[in-house]
């Protein structure tokens, strides 16, 4: 039985295909090192950060060494082609300042202008006074505020220079709820389950760290009730840590 011969056109197509594959393979072998070399040269030619200038936005004076340290990791990074602003804002999430402007000066300088965080609350612990920002960052103390938080130990209230989230939530609640709106507050934290709220309007109030707006609504209703306002008994303490308020004389 005779074998059928392939058409000449098919054989030519196969040969051309093989030749094209060989040619493309040779081109790749030649171009790959050249492409790698070009990529390396481009990478080396990208300007890199050799100097970070940290300045106060209002005075244009250099910031402190502690504040400058937040930007040490930027040195050596490319000045372009990466999101420097995102890196900076991530690295300074809990810094005692806010970034106002970020600018680049060729060939290798990055300028960052900052403003100190505003003190909203006061924190005292171990006989030391600190400031607290709106976001709970512990900052240098500047002045007494309407809300003063006292912790038996710094470790109990903060971590890495930031007030614990649950405690910050409680502080914000106490500072904004209308039951405490008229007078300055002093909050003394002995344990998460024993927090004393002092002011000049009514007796010491005991709450837990998990107290919510419902707890304060109940306290407000109690303080405005005739049983309380018309009572001649001096109440020393109102304990809101249980299902019903407990009044101690």
Question: Given a cut of 80, is residue 8 above it in pLDDT?
Answer: no
In this prediction, residue 41 carries a pLDDT of 39
Query: CB of 163 within 8 A of CB of 189?
Result: no
Question: Residue 62 carries which DSSP code?
Answer: B
d(CA 55, CA 111): 8
Q: What pLDDT is attached to residue 174?
A: 92
Across the range 19-35, mean pLDDT stands at 63
pLDDT at 72 over 70: yes
Looking at residues 116-145, what average pLDDT do you find? 91
User: What does the pLDDT read at residue 3?
Assistant: 53
Contacts (Cβ under 8 Å, ≥6 apart) of 15: none
Mean pLDDT across 168-192: 89
Closest CA to 92 of 109, 76, 116: 116
- For residue 107, the model assigns a pLDDT of 85
Q: Which two tokens stand for residue 182?
A: 């008229």
Residue 136 has pLDDT above 90, yes or no: yes
pLDDT of res. 156: 81
Lowest mean pLDDT among 24-28, 118-122, 197-201, 241-245: 24-28
- Euclidean distance between CA atoms 180 and 165, whole angstroms: 21
Domains of the chain (ranges, CATH numbers): 51-116 (3.10.20), 121-248 (3.40.50.11690)
CB neighbourhood size of 23 (10 A): 10
Whole-model pTM over 0.85: no
CA distance 19 to 48: 46
Spatial strand order of the sheet with 194-198 comes to 138-140, 128-132, 121-125, 147-151, 185-191, 194-198, 204-207, 237-239, 246-248
């Amino acid at each position: 039985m005779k074998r059928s011969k392939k058409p000449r056109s098919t054989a030519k197509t196969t040969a051309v295909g093989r030749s094209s594959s060989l040619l493309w393979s040779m081109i790749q072998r030649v171009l790959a090192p050249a492409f790698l070399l070009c990529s390396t040269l481009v990478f080396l030619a990208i300007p890199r950060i050799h100097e970070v200038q940290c300045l106060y936005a209002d005075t244009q004076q250099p910031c402190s060494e502690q504040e400058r340290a937040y930007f040490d990791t930027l040195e050596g990074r490319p000045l372009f082609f990466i999101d420097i602003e995102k890196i900076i804002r991530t690295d300074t999430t809990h810094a005692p300042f806010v970034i106002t402007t970020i600018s680049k000066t060729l060939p290798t300088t990055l300028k960052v202008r900052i403003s100190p965080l505003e003190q909203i609350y006061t924190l005292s612990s171990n006989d030391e006074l600190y400031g607290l920002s709106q976001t709970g960052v512990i900052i240098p103390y500047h002045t007494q505020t309407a809300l003063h938080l006292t912790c038996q130990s710094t470790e109990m209230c903060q971590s890495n220079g930031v007030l614990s989230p649950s405690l910050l939530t409680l502080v914000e609640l106490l500072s904004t709820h209308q039951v405490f709106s008229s007078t300055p507050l002093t909050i003394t934290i002995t344990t998460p389950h024993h927090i004393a709220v002092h002011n000049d309007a009514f007796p010491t109030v005991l709450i837990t760290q998990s107290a919510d707006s419902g707890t304060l609504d109940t306290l407000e209703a109690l303080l405005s009730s005739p049983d309380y306002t018309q009572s001649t008994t001096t109440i020393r303490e109102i304990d809101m840590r249980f299902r019903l308020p407990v009044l101690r004389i």
